[in-house]
Structure 1
């Protein structure tokens, strides 16, 4: 019930390769889904995060046949205290979508949470547990990418029209792409970037078009600078864009060479720079062979590239110092067959322009899109949260960012 506190039976074990301690924060009795890795998901002091789960069996889906409702699972929203493992149930009878990142977010000040449920964008007060509807959003739209400014004034997200997809049923279970991704890209659905102003209690469209717009992010320090992507096959789409809400200027952040370059998983760093993952090839009929993480200012200037010795991780995020990263893959040699099993601590070497991976531990997730690892640092950079279904169900794990135990070789 809303307001109930649960204490999970946390399990601690050591990685057999590095000896680093891992803690399973949840109990492997249900699905426990964290927000997407670019979504605001910690309080500033690092004490709390949120997750969505169906273990209470109280979630209610009002229209299970709606076009954009999805079939990956729904749950209630919980506040998790990392030190104690106590989980406070924040909602009752909601249907917060799970799978590839839960549709929830916590404000940096820890006072409120935000989530999309049953055609409504809602806010819940963490102290009183009172909920209110911010706006109605028809479930003919797919909802994406909650983001918030550090001052907690603005909330941003995107909406994408749902389309029938003839090819979705032919997608491979472990594919990195969403089912029917190429078909959706070619159909060019209508999309909107929206920004809700908590001070004015109003919402406005910042941008829109006939592309699948996702990965909306607000610059941490202000609400007028936004980042978004035109989603689709990375080598076909001009993906990274910025928009200035004051002037309505919309610009490509990084001009890609079609077919030859791919760049994506864009995000704001703690200081307000933009990071992304990059790959290059000389010809369209060859595999991508150069891989890097790229960081640049909002206007695209002062670009830094850090090249990996081999393949790059599938998802990365950076610590508060922005010279350390965490990735969901660790390739330490050219022909390493099991690189996708491991988390990598990444050192960004400015002198040599290198991204240097260190193997931290195994995550051993299945690789399903609904069980992506999506590792993130806690606000102080001391620990890492990640997801894995290695014990059967999707659980949340925590590991110390211990460079002294991370390895350069296997």
Structure 2
């Protein structure tokens, strides 16, 4: 991997321990170091300040495992996971929101994105090829339509739009207009109470044909197609988690609208759902009740079997993810202001599932299958401001856990090796101390 000269110099400076050194604003963090607290090697994967990876459960890596998409101020980029070199795929020509990533394709090495025509202001869905750099427009979106996911054979996009009230009615949507909230929790309460009518739809990327899947006054959000079944869409009933049965699936013809997890306890929550990479299992953060006991729960769509891996408070994470073979999980941690109120939870963590089903135990196909996670800390995130969620994911070879961080001030995409670094590394350093040399102010907990 090519390491820029300035990064090599900074790595050497950090390695020899120049106490109290604060780097200039125009200098960049080192390309790699070994976290002193964990023994795992960390890599800075993106060269651009304010570059970021996708939300943890969005499709971000091409089907051949070569390219990972990320966003930067100058446009949509590809990171070659083999060479670690990067290239600009869709430039935004000075307008940071000109090209907005939807997802990477599952059939070919393309990224789907939204862009606006400067003259007509019409938003279109487009795709660009990582290998050739060629972009093409696919279909236009009607005004007010939002798109969030692309299906497994790259033929459909799914999204929502709000149903506008009749001009003759002279009134707003049920619940009245939303007022700017003071915080995220207040916003979610207000949006849920507003009962704004909306439509969940798909649009054919070849013909532009739109299909309505359902109409609702519930707040529908977080659309995510199955990675293997092009006719299956997962979505959530959004809102404060203790007030909603959140996780649902539906077919692309509008049939089989199915609740995945029904709550049975007051203050029980289930959310931040994600697909197992084979498309068989829906995984999610399950707290029974909120803030007290913590699990990563799974529901197998084929066998209908449910699994729950118990997680300790300090190993709980805002988001979890799973490796391609389903044998490893990872989490991005959380500060003391998050729902777990973890006193020591600011870590990227590797989680190894272990069954606790005892020999001779009475079992049944409808019973939850119990397990625990054996944790291994990968990166000390004490200097990361958790107002930016790190959003972990595994690379296809399962050698790296990729995440984003603002610990150095600007956001970068980082990766940490799953295996510990060999003994004798000369660039072992404290990650929080290194980060503090670029961003001296220590982050305060979220609320």
TM-score (norm 1): 0.78
CA distance 1:179–1:91, shift in 2 (3 Å)? farther
Higher alpha-carbon deviation: 218-227 or 123-132: 123-132
Which of 338, 346, 349 does residue 344 from structure 2 map onto? 338
What per-residue deviation string (whole Å, max 9, x for no partner) do you get for residues 168-188 of structure 1?
Answer: 2x11xxxxx477121111112
Worse overlay, 185-194 or 394-403:
185-194
| Mapped pair 1:295 → 2:308 | no
Q: Shift in Å at residue 254 of structure 1?
A: 1.1
Report the more deviating stretch, 294-303 or 313-322.
294-303
Q: 1:123 to 1:164 in 2, by over 3 A?
A: farther
Question: How does 1:98-247 map onto structure 2 within 5 Å?
Answer: 103-118=101-116, 119-126=123-130, 127-138=132-143, 140=144, 143=146, 145-149=148-152, 151-159=153-161, 164-168=177-181, 170-171=182-183, 177=184, 180-198=187-205, 200-246=207-253
- 1:48 corresponds, among 59, 63, 67, to 67
User: Which of residues 275, 280, 287 is equivalent to 2:283?
Assistant: 275
The answer to whether the 8 Å contact 2:273/2:285 transfers is yes
Indicate conservation of the 8 Å contact 1:263/1:277, yes or no. yes
- Tell me which residue corresponds to 1:70: none
1:252 pairs with 2:259:
yes
Deviation of 1:390 (Å): 0.4
Would the alpha carbon gap of residues 300 and 208 (structure 1) be closer, same or farther in structure 2, given more than 3 Å must change? farther
CA drift of 1:347 comes to: 1.2
Distance 1:362 1:335 in 2: 17
Aligned equivalents of 2:412 and 2:186: distance in 1?
23
Pair 129,160 (structure 1): closer, same or farther in 2 beyond 3 Å: farther
Cα separation, 1, equivalents of 2:412 and 2:300:
35
Report the Cα distance in structure 2 between the residues aligned to 1:211 and 1:372, rounded to whole angstroms: 26
Instruction: Tell me the CA shift for residue 197 of structure 1.
Output: 3.3
Counterparts in 2 of 1:225 and 1:336: CA distance versus 1, 3 Å: closer
- Given that 2:39 and 2:420 are in contact with CA atoms closer than 8 Å, whether structure 1 keeps it comes out as no
Report how far residue 404 of structure 1 moved: 8.5
Give the distance between the partners of 1:125 and 1:330, measured in 2 at CA.
36
Aligned Cα root-mean-square deviation (Å) = 3.1
Q: Distance in 2 between matches of 1:92 and 1:261?
A: 44
The structural deviation recorded for 1:382 is 1.8
1:239-289: per-residue Cα shift (whole Å, max 9, x none)?
Answer: 0111123461212111113633100011211121111110013xxxxx631
Cα 1:358–1:129, aligned 2, differ >3 Å: closer, same or farther? same
Measure how far apart 1:206 and its partner are.
2.4
Match of 1:35 in 2: 54
Shift of 1:199: 5.3
Q: How many residues align?
A: 357
1:392 shift after superposition:
0.4
1:33 is paired with a residue of what secondary structure? coil
CA-to-aligned-CA distance 1:32-73 (integer Å, 9 cap, x gap): 12221111100123221111111x3xxxxxxxxxxxxxxxxx
> Equivalent residue for 1:305?
308
Gaps of 5+ in 1: 1-5, 57-75, 172-176, 282-286, 406-410
Please name the residue that 1:63 is paired with: none
Structure 1 residue 122, shift from structure 2 partner: 2.1
- Helix, strand or coil at the partner of 1:166: coil
Per the normalisation by structure 2, the TM-score is 0.72
Cα distance in 2 for residues equivalent to 1:96 and 1:229: 29
Residue of structure 2 in register with 1:382 after alignment = 399
Q: Give 1:189 deviation, angstroms.
A: 2.6
Q: Which residue of 2 aligns with 1:397?
A: 414
C-alpha displacement of 1:135 = 2.2
Larger radius of gyration: 2
SS at structure 2 position matched to 1:372 = coil
Q: Residue 246 and residue 136 in structure 1: after superposition, are their counterparts in 2 closer, same or farther (change >3 A)?
A: closer
Aligned residue for 1:51, secondary structure, equals strand
Q: Distance in 1 between matches of 2:163 and 2:405?
A: 30
